[in-house]
């Protein structure tokens, strides 16, 4: 509500009463919020389009010697900020997934290498086709409860996943399929 009030004064200027008007401004406030939300969304969309345009131009300039998975990982991190990004590939004939890229904030790679005794990039694990098809068929961002172990479909073991999550104080994990 919006309230406006004024004193009612006599001929001498003394306050002898109060006159007030109150008005329900809920609808106006909702419209203002909707406008602000719309403007934020429009700005975010413009920034995302600019990002995608730059990324597309950079993508076509990648040489055969450069790692496309690292490029994708860096671009996702550019969008997501302080994220840990793992890129997996799926070999249909061998029914395996391979960690193709693993990136994150400073120290991420060194720490994962120290607790796995090697670079996780290149780790390969067998997978059930139905499980991969379920993942590949889900282009929506969804929460993954099992941390790195579940994100990598078992390529990174549960104990390593727990150490990594504790070390970096990781919260929720999410996955999206880019097929």
Which residues have a Cβ under 8 Å from the Cβ of 108 and sit 6 or more positions away? 84, 102, 168
Average pLDDT over the chain, rounded to an integer: 84
* Residue pLDDT, tens place only, 67-125: 888 898 888 888 877 778 888 888 878 888 888 888 888 888 888 888 888 888 888 88
CA distance linking residue 58 with residue 48, whole number of Å: 15
In order, the DSSP letters of 126-158 are: E--HHHHHHHHT--S-EEETTHHHHHTTTSS-H
Q: State whether residue 96 is helix, strand or coil.
A: strand
* Greater pLDDT, 173 or 64: 64
- The pLDDT, as a whole number, for residue 138 is 60
In the chain, what percentage of residues exceed pLDDT 90? 24
- Give the gyration radius of the chain's Cα atoms: 27
Whether 148 contacts 164, CB under 8 Å: yes
Within its chain, how far is the Cα of 91 from the centroid? Answer: 26
Question: 95 in the Ramachandran plot: left (φ > 0), alpha (ψ -120 to 50) or beta?
Answer: left
What's the whole-model pTM score? 0.62
- If pLDDT is split at 50, 70 and 90, which confidence band does 126 have? confident
């Amino acid at each position: 509500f919006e309230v406006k009030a004024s004193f009612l004064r006599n001929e001498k200027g003394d306050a002898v009463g109060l006159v007030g008007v109150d008005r329900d401004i809920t609808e106006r406030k909702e419209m203002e919020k909707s406008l602000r939300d719309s403007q934020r969304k429009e700005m975010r969309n413009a920034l995302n389009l600019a990002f995608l345009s730059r990324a597309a131009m950079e993508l076509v300039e990648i040489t055969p010697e450069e790692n496309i998975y690292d490029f994708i990982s860096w671009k996702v991190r550019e969008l997501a900020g302080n994220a840990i990004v793992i890129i997996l590939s799926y070999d249909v004939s061998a029914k395996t997934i391979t960690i193709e890229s693993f990136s994150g904030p400073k120290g991420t790679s060194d720490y994962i290498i120290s607790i796995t005794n090697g670079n996780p990039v290149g780790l390969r694990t067998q997978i059930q086709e139905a499980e991969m098809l379920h993942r590949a068929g889900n282009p929506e961002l969804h929460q993954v409860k099992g941390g790195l172990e579940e994100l990598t479909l078992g390529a990174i073991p549960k104990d390593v996943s727990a150490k990594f999550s504790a070390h970096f104080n990781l919260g929720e994990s999410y996955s999206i399929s880019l097929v």
